[in-house]
Amino acid sequence: MSINHFQKLIGQPQAVELLEQIIVKKRIAPAYLFTGPSGVGRSLGAKCFSEALLSINTPPDKKILAQKRIGERNHPDLLWVEPTYQYQGQLITAQEAKNLGITRKILPQVRVEQIRKVTRFLNRPPLEAPCSLVIIEDVQTMTETAANGLLKTLEEPGKATLILLAFSTDSLLSTLVSRCQRIPFYSLSSKNLIKVLEKQGNKDISKNPEIISLAQGSPGEAIIASQHLKNIPEELYQKIKKIPSNQIEVLELSKVITEKLDVQTQLWLIKYMQYYYWMRLQNKKILEVLEKSRLCLLSYVQSQLVWECLFLEIISVYS
């Protein structure tokens, strides 16, 4: 059996080996959990794995068409789920919100309505492939109700395989994790990071040392860093490099950040500040303050309050 589906997955030898062996030995588990930093290949790995799974026993003359449909996410036996926002009675992904020019101050979530859709999708038999396949991105964003619903689905998946993507297992239900075979993904070496960026046509990004350092072995994060640096107003970018000197400056800067930047950019900005302040001050307490603030944003705490507390604590630590 051909296992060349994983050739595009650079810098993840352990994941490739595990996935190849699953295909070769035809020991397909009901559920897999792909864990690791964002932007290192988890989604690409899921796509490659889905191509391999859904093309088993497919005639050679039909494999190219099947792979094309998988790449476009319109294969009848594939359901790809992303976190969503609620907008005018509909669920829209972050990309759809961006295309519509919609700015949200909260993060998207995998919602119970989407898990119900997964259940309905799995209740019917596969139409073309040997099994149905569901891929759920960022499962750590699931609401509690959605997580419980997914757990019930994993107990009786039927003739299907589920692939869950998450940063780590820390924020997931232990019962959910125990029902999945884990496939770990890791940060890339600098050599592989640059190789991937250049292969994707991002040679200019690969030559920016600050972005390469910020990326921490993640091609996806390098691209995101480049985009965020372009989107953050230069005046604001310079202000966050200086520690506010008083409460008024804290309130003004916090207000500007929450008004000018969506929550995804705010999260990235905290990551940048962790890098910048460590290089400048090498103060672990400031890093701890920034990390606590990042977790608060991820927990949907009101963002302006998060920034006000962040800067006040930095002033306290620095003084």
User: pLDDT 10s per residue in the chain (319 long)?
Assistant: 445 678 889 999 999 999 999 988 988 999 999 999 999 999 999 999 998 888 877 776 677 777 788 888 889 999 999 999 999 889 999 889 888 888 777 889 999 999 999 999 999 999 888 889 999 999 999 988 999 999 989 988 888 999 999 999 988 999 999 999 999 999 999 999 999 999 999 999 999 998 999 899 999 999 999 998 888 889 998 998 888 989 999 999 999 999 999 888 999 999 999 999 888 888 899 999 999 999 999 888 999 999 999 999 999 887 6
Predicted pLDDT of residue 281: 85
What are the residues whose beta carbons fall under 8 Å from the beta carbon of 29, sequence distance 6 or more?
22, 161, 180, 181
* CA proximity to 163, closest of 49, 56, 5, 55: 49
Query: What domains can be seen in the chain, in order of their start residue?
Result: 4-184 (3.40.50.300), 192-318 (no CATH)
pLDDT score, position 256: 95
Decide if 300 contacts 144 (C-beta within 8 A): no
- 3-state secondary structure (DSSP) of residue 193: helix
Residues 6+ away with beta carbon under 8 Å from 188: 10, 11, 12, 40, 196, 217, 218, 219
β 90-93/84-87 pair status: antiparallel
Q: What is the CA radius of gyration of the chain?
A: 21
As a whole number of angstroms, the distance between CA 268 and CA 111 comes to: 24
Q: How far is CA 112 from CA 121, 162, 186, in A?
A: 14, 16, 30
Q: What is the pLDDT of residue 61?
A: 66
Type of residue at 261: L
Helix and strand numbers (H, E) in the chain are 16, 7
Please give the Cα distance from 32 to 13 (Å, whole number). 17
Global pTM? 0.83
- Residue 17 identity: E
Are 230 and 223 in contact, with CB atoms under 8 Å apart?
no
Q: How far is CA 65 from the centre of its chain?
A: 28
How far is the C-alpha of 174 from the C-alpha of 157, rounded, in Å?
18
For residues 183 and 32, give the distance between their C-alpha atoms in angstroms, rounded to a whole number: 7
Residue 193 · residue 212 · CB < 8 Å: yes
Listing DSSP states for 45-102 in one string gives HHHHHHHHHHTTT--HHHHHHHHHHHHTT--TTEEEE--EEEETTEEEEHHHHHHTT-
Q: How many CB atoms lie within 10 A of CB 124?
A: 12
pLDDT at 1: 42
